[in-house]
Structure 1
Amino acid sequence: MALRFGFKRLRYFFVVFSTNNGFFPYLLLVGLMVVVVVVGMGAYFFGLMAPESIRAEGIENSLDAGFIDTFWWSFKHVLDPGAFAKDYLAPGSVLAFGVFTTIAGLVITGALIGFIINFIQSGMDELKRGSTVIHEMNHVLILGWNRKVVSILRFFSELRTHQPIVILTNADIDDVNEEIRQERRSFRNVRVVPQHGSPTVAAELKRVNVANSASVVLLAEEQTSGRDQSPDISTIKSLMLLDNIAWEGKKPNIVAEIAEKDNVRVANIAVSARAPIVSSTEFVSKTLVQCARHTGYSSVYSQLFSFDKNEILIHRVEGLSGELFGNVARRFENAILLGVSWVQSGAGGERRVAVLNPEPDYDLGEDDELILLAEPRKQLSAPLEMMDDEESGASIGHFENPKIQRLLILGWNENIGQIVEEIDGHANEPVDVVITSGQTSEFFNEYKDRHIADGIRNVRLTHRQEDTATELALRRLEVQKYDVIIVVADHSQPGYDPDSRTTLTLLLLRELRGEMSQAFPRVVAEFYDKESHELCRETPLTDAVMSPEFVSMQITHLAREPVLGSIYNELLSAGGIEIGLRPIERYVPLRSSCSFAQLMHATQKANEIVLGVRIGGIHGEPCLNPGSKSQFVFEAGDVAIVLAQEVYI
């Protein structure tokens, strides 16, 4: 009984030490092998070096016929079981030691192989479970998981930097691995390492080697959606942890997504306003409203912030102090000057200030850096010497956007309040906005009192409870009487895929358009997946906002260049500089040859900056930064894409 208990305790301590120290099994084997070799050397005292033993092929005395030859004989029996076959003519006592060392060697070798296999298998299991310690350097660390991660991975892949990306999330690691596996072809240029753990625990951040990361991206965990706790709580906790880390080397670029606009201020406090915060609801709402105001805005935005054609960068050029902004803008052959930026010091530390589309007679200062739109993989040319002005001959008149007097919103999600506020911010005349969704009137009135009522000035808001994915409801709405229809990703019908409902609504709108002789309203729709958008090509859709993709695009840019945050805010905010689409004949004559440099000079007369052109009407592809020497012959329906002061609806 005592012997059995002692054996159980030995086995227990072996398991405990093996679990707590990965080297213990190997140290134990080395110790066991030393003991077996020493016991095997006892054959020396039983005639191992005697003349009758030397006759055996496997026993030699050529070195010292003592310690060294005995050690070698015992050691090779432990490592090589075949050595025993060469002891054929040795005495029985020597053979007994040979049998012992050979069998013990087999046990040790088998145990060693088992430990090695177990070590490899444990490592693979840890990697699959997402519990391994990360030793990457200069990697991108994504904290959290939602539908935007796949888009972020794809955008980093388009950069072709072959950068490792580590994902730390509380989501089910098998689901994460499966989703990555399905989309792996889209991001071949990155190595993805999913890890399971809480981004709000300091030890987990240390495990994924946050101290040596190049960028940290914080996303709202999708699994908390629909619960009482805001999905932003864990993001803010992680931001506080990151802000309190004593960084030994260079601090990584940090960018965080906040799902609810009300939490943006709290997040900024958590990072002391030193990291860009992306409010996904605010961003999507702004983009939807801009698409309602400018037909074709989404395709311009996709190109402007893509990673394969053009990108916004901040560039310092020496020797431009005292030069006029308008003159410098016309001196770049393969880039477009958007504005200027500088670092401003204050009580709260340093912050970057960006001014887009300043007056052409703005004097560049010594500390001013240039904000440029340029191709990322082309060498930026130095500014050319100033050439004589080329007059375009076009008169620049006052531009007015088509008025939006009635706007219909189909569907319901968390962005509704922000969309209404954005419409109100862009309006200087009354706009009737009708929201139609599956929500009850009681729910809408409560939501309006809590999120909308205090802020709006020019929007007259009403709500109708209808199933927007039915033909009867759309007929009752008389959709033809509206100027613009916005179809949001509808979350008012639990259990239904929002993209499926959007697709069905657009198909029904196509049927209604076919029955009407008058002009049909412009239709802007929000999608989550590209595949759903592709199905709606033949519908009345004029602009599609891929909300996860657009937000992911901005997050990826900010993870690389956080200084671009102020530029993005300026482009999308109401009451400032905006991207506008203007008729080309506003600047240059139709059906006559015109260089892009001439168009650039013409737009300066209206205090605007031309970014590119769109040829072929609303279905044409935008051409941004074509180069100052590019020649065009414009026709009716072509538009100039410009940076301009906002024109209100």
Structure 2
Amino acid sequence: MKIPLKEQIEYRLQNILARGTWALLSLLGIISVIFIFFTALMIKATPEGASESFINLLWISLMRTLDPGTMGGDEGSWGFLLSLLFITIIGIFILSVLIGIITTGIENAIISLRKGRSKVLEKNHTLLLGWNNRIMSVISELIISNNQYNGKFSIVILAPKDKVEMEDSIREKIGNSGNTKIICRSGDASVKIDLELTNINHAKSIIIFPPDSAYADIQIFKIILAIVNRYDSNEKRLHIVTEARYIDNIDLIKMVGDNQVEVIYPNEIIARIISQTARQPGLAVLYSELLSFNGKFYYKDIRSAWYDEASGDEIYYHPQKELIGQLYSDAVLSYETCSVIGVFNSDNKNILNPDMEYEIQMNDKMILIAEDKEKIVYTSNSDIKIIESKIVNTISVPDKDNILIINWNRLTPVIITEIDSYAVPGSSITILSENKNIDESVDVVNIENCIIYTKNGDTTSPSILSSLDISKFDNIIVVSDSDNLNKVEADSRSLITLLHLRKLCQELDKKPIIVSQILDEKHRSIAEETRADDFIVSEKIVGQCLTQIAENEHLNDLLLELFSAEGAEIYFKPITDYLDIGSTVNFKTLVQSGINKGESVIGYKIASLFNNPEANYGVSLNPDKHIDIDFNIEDRVIVIATVEY
């Protein structure tokens, strides 16, 4: 059957329209030329046009098309006037269509740009793939890190979200980004075409954020496979950082990434920090400071939330040729404004708190805690005098622990295992949970030193809490009910529990140490009103770990050792085991006392300031060795050691 001419014209017109702005402009130009040529022929047939050249008539028709408003003063025959009227009306139509096409084209171009589908031209940028609850924490930490240096930096984000939505969210929660440019692109990082938008071959580091879903690790596998297949391995080795939701997938993720991926397991990190902090209040504050960057060195007085938190001493790897051939104990005393915590050897291994007789080798780097890289200054002849008469060498053996854990989530088994590994035999752990199968859950936990008791009940009920006899517990851990509730609801219930505990503890002579898990950073300021001893903000700590490892890939193994019960870790030990208190003493003397015990001293905690946020809750990390301190019997020295006592 023959297709009607009308349908053929409509079909061809639709095809032209589908080709975009340039096709429409070309079609309009052809139509304009046809009408201008036809009008010139019409004018040529009139008496007024007979004496004019055809080229001049084409020019007259073109001007009438472009400026239809010039027809008012025309004179001549009706044929001449009607020809000019005809091209004037055509000109109005053509100009209207031209303006519409250009306007639509500009709008489409803006919409296309706002979709975030153009290729990124940045180099040496940090590439963030995906989007989840931790991304804002990571962006903040990256901005703080970049703000330490005098230069321009960039963060590129590729996520399956609307580009404008991402930019608005970042602008609302981050604000002024200092010397860091943030570029958002919309797409799926597991798709090759989308991944090519990010200029991945020139990325400094890559952080992968799995979605907030049960099978998030599958997306990690897909993204890593896409990266490995897309990346030009001849240029340089990739530096990829991500998190695994299931511990069994960690080795598989590393294998898929050709051992170019650093993987952290957030559940284990948070559980270990909670268990350590419960026994050593102030440790969460120290970890938060140690994992933060000091971003106020070059760019000052920026009004943004991240800038208020841009303070902290961080870990550096620093070669020091003057120390080659000297002992580790000499290196510990060779920096007045830094704290030496270990050695990074030629085999790319972190040796935390090595033997004090360890001899520094040619390619060794010192692992230090410093405020900024510029503050790392080697001092061969210090004028700080060590007061030997103030140094003592005693050991305090801890007592049995009686610990109460309120709520049960996926972290609780790890918390119990970690506490058991530190605890003195005969210690007890009591678990209060609304889970009716709590006894079955506890049975799967392997313990050696502790006795486990369980109680079923409402964790927000004051009568249930008071029935536990809070006075008999040394430590109380409130974990979030994150397995059953969302972040807001879980944090709200934790706050209610903390308020009840605060009321119950007011009448006690000896108050237990209370540590609480908080999921959302914005709830911390509210939680502080409950007067708990410490808070572990899950999202922030994991984000800080991801950022630190993205900036230095060797930190992953170091942090894993610090967080675990094996190897060297951070301890808060009684000051009376190190110094004869009663008068002021400089910090270098305390460092020397630690050397005598085979420990690396990195700071101290003043007990009387523990409830004072302005004084960093009494925790002083990496103080200047010149500083004089007047310690009291309740104060603690912060050390990195391989054994607690």
Indicate yes or no: 2:410 matched with 1:414: yes
Could you say which residue in structure 2 is the equivalent of 1:261? 247
Indicate yes or no: 2:594 matched with 1:607: no
Query: How far apart are residue 288 of structure 1 and its match?
Result: 0.3
**Aligned with 2:328 (options 306, 319, 325):** 325
Query: How far apart are residue 220 of structure 1 and its match?
Result: 2.7
RMSD: 3.4
Report the 3-state secondary structure (helix = DSSP H, G, I; strand = E; otherwise coil) of the residue aligned with 2:403: strand
Partner letter of residue 436 of structure 1?
L
Query: How far apart are residue 597 of structure 1 and its match?
Result: 2.6
Partner letter of residue 433 of structure 1?
I
Query: Against the structure 1 CA distance between its residues 406 and 123, is the aligned structure 2 distance closer, same or farther, given a 3 Å change threshold?
Result: farther
Q: How does 1:460-471 map to 2 (within 5 A)?
A: 460-471=451-462
Could you say which residue in structure 2 is the equivalent of 1:647? 644
Query: Against the structure 1 CA distance between its residues 107 and 292, is the aligned structure 2 distance closer, same or farther, given a 3 Å change threshold?
Result: same
C-alpha distance in structure 1 between counterparts of 2:393 and 2:576, whole Å: 10
Could you say which residue in structure 1 is the equivalent of 2:302? none
Report the 3-state secondary structure (helix = DSSP H, G, I; strand = E; otherwise coil) of the residue aligned with 2:136: helix
Could you say which residue in structure 1 is the equivalent of 2:561? 570
C-alpha distance in structure 2 between counterparts of 1:186 and 1:465, whole Å: 48
C-alpha distance in structure 1 between counterparts of 2:643 and 2:102, whole Å: 67
Query: Against the structure 1 CA distance between its residues 461 and 76, is the aligned structure 2 distance closer, same or farther, given a 3 Å change threshold?
Result: farther
Query: Against the structure 1 CA distance between its residues 575 and 96, is the aligned structure 2 distance closer, same or farther, given a 3 Å change threshold?
Result: same
Could you say which residue in structure 2 is the equivalent of 1:58? none
C-alpha distance in structure 1 between counterparts of 2:436 and 2:119, whole Å: 50
Q: How does 1:584-623 map to 2 (within 5 A)?
A: 584-615=575-606, 616-619=608-611, 620-623=617-620
C-alpha distance in structure 2 between counterparts of 1:414 and 1:279, whole Å: 13
Indicate yes or no: 2:476 matched with 1:497: no
- The superposition leaves residues 575-599 of structure 1 with CA deviations (integer Å, 9 ceiling, x where unpaired) of 2111122233433343434333333
Could you say which residue in structure 2 is the equivalent of 1:527? 518
Could you say which residue in structure 2 is the equivalent of 1:237? 222
- The superposition leaves residues 548-579 of structure 1 with CA deviations (integer Å, 9 ceiling, x where unpaired) of 11111111111222222122112112121111
Could you say which residue in structure 1 is the equivalent of 2:4? 2
C-alpha distance in structure 2 between counterparts of 1:379 and 1:37, whole Å: 76
Partner letter of residue 462 of structure 2?
E
Could you say which residue in structure 2 is the equivalent of 1:303? 289
Matched residue count: 613
Query: Against the structure 1 CA distance between its residues 155 and 397, is the aligned structure 2 distance closer, same or farther, given a 3 Å change threshold?
Result: same
- Identical columns (%): 25
Query: Against the structure 1 CA distance between its residues 123 and 411, is the aligned structure 2 distance closer, same or farther, given a 3 Å change threshold?
Result: farther
- Point out the more displaced range, 397-406 or 272-281: 397-406
Query: How far apart are residue 522 of structure 1 and its match?
Result: 1.0
Could you say which residue in structure 2 is the equivalent of 1:24? 23
Q: How does 1:165-180 map to 2 (within 5 A)?
A: 165-170=155-160, 179-180=169-170
C-alpha distance in structure 2 between counterparts of 1:396 and 1:73, whole Å: 106
Indicate yes or no: 2:326 matched with 1:340: no
Query: Against the structure 1 CA distance between its residues 300 and 8, is the aligned structure 2 distance closer, same or farther, given a 3 Å change threshold?
Result: same
Could you say which residue in structure 1 is the equivalent of 2:264? 278
Partner letter of residue 352 of structure 2?
L
CA contact (8 A) 1:299 1:621 kept: no
Partner letter of residue 521 of structure 1?
P
- Point out the more displaced range, 273-282 or 611-620: 611-620
Partner letter of residue 267 of structure 1?
I
CA contact (8 A) 2:561 2:567 kept: yes
Partner letter of residue 24 of structure 2?
P
Indicate yes or no: 2:196 matched with 1:206: yes
C-alpha distance in structure 1 between counterparts of 2:87 and 2:362, whole Å: 82
CA contact (8 A) 2:189 2:226 kept: no
Query: Against the structure 1 CA distance between its residues 203 and 436, is the aligned structure 2 distance closer, same or farther, given a 3 Å change threshold?
Result: farther
Could you say which residue in structure 1 is the equivalent of 2:377? 381
- Point out the more displaced range, 71-80 or 616-625: 71-80
C-alpha distance in structure 2 between counterparts of 1:392 and 1:28, whole Å: 93
Indicate yes or no: 2:374 matched with 1:364: no
Query: Against the structure 1 CA distance between its residues 436 and 201, is the aligned structure 2 distance closer, same or farther, given a 3 Å change threshold?
Result: farther
TM-score for both structures, normalised by structure 1: 0.84
Query: Against the structure 1 CA distance between its residues 487 and 589, is the aligned structure 2 distance closer, same or farther, given a 3 Å change threshold?
Result: same
C-alpha distance in structure 2 between counterparts of 1:561 and 1:116, whole Å: 50
CA contact (8 A) 1:339 1:372 kept: yes
Report the 3-state secondary structure (helix = DSSP H, G, I; strand = E; otherwise coil) of the residue aligned with 1:218: strand
C-alpha distance in structure 2 between counterparts of 1:448 and 1:231, whole Å: 27
Query: How far apart are residue 605 of structure 1 and its match?
Result: 1.4
Query: How far apart are residue 47 of structure 1 and its match?
Result: 8.0
Report the 3-state secondary structure (helix = DSSP H, G, I; strand = E; otherwise coil) of the residue aligned with 1:480: helix
Query: How far apart are residue 541 of structure 1 and its match?
Result: 1.1
- The superposition leaves residues 454-508 of structure 1 with CA deviations (integer Å, 9 ceiling, x where unpaired) of x433343343321111112112222322221110111355477010010000111
CA contact (8 A) 2:401 2:424 kept: no
- Point out the more displaced range, 559-568 or 282-291: 559-568
Question: Can you give the 5+ residue segments of structure 1 that lack an aligned partner in the other structure?
Answer: 54-64, 345-351
Could you say which residue in structure 1 is the equivalent of 2:474? 483
Query: How far apart are residue 444 of structure 1 and its match?
Result: 5.2
Query: How far apart are residue 385 of structure 1 and its match?
Result: 4.2
Query: How far apart are residue 609 of structure 1 and its match?
Result: 1.8
TM-score for both structures, normalised by structure 2: 0.84
Report the 3-state secondary structure (helix = DSSP H, G, I; strand = E; otherwise coil) of the residue aligned with 1:579: strand
**Aligned with 1:631 (options 621, 628, 635):** 628
CA contact (8 A) 1:218 1:235 kept: yes
Query: How far apart are residue 42 of structure 1 and its match?
Result: 5.3
- Point out the more displaced range, 35-44 or 23-32: 35-44
CA contact (8 A) 1:421 1:456 kept: yes
Query: Against the structure 1 CA distance between its residues 186 and 547, is the aligned structure 2 distance closer, same or farther, given a 3 Å change threshold?
Result: farther
C-alpha distance in structure 2 between counterparts of 1:177 and 1:213, whole Å: 21
Partner letter of residue 203 of structure 2?
S
Query: Against the structure 1 CA distance between its residues 482 and 634, is the aligned structure 2 distance closer, same or farther, given a 3 Å change threshold?
Result: closer
CA contact (8 A) 2:43 2:83 kept: no
Query: Against the structure 1 CA distance between its residues 471 and 14, is the aligned structure 2 distance closer, same or farther, given a 3 Å change threshold?
Result: same
**Aligned with 2:393 (options 397, 400, 408):** 397
Report the 3-state secondary structure (helix = DSSP H, G, I; strand = E; otherwise coil) of the residue aligned with 1:5: helix
Query: How far apart are residue 410 of structure 1 and its match?
Result: 0.7
CA contact (8 A) 1:526 1:546 kept: yes
C-alpha distance in structure 2 between counterparts of 1:606 and 1:486, whole Å: 31
Question: Can you give the 5+ residue segments of structure 2 that lack an aligned partner in the other structure?
Answer: 295-311, 612-616
Partner letter of residue 185 of structure 1?
G
Query: How far apart are residue 542 of structure 1 and its match?
Result: 0.9
Report the 3-state secondary structure (helix = DSSP H, G, I; strand = E; otherwise coil) of the residue aligned with 1:276: strand
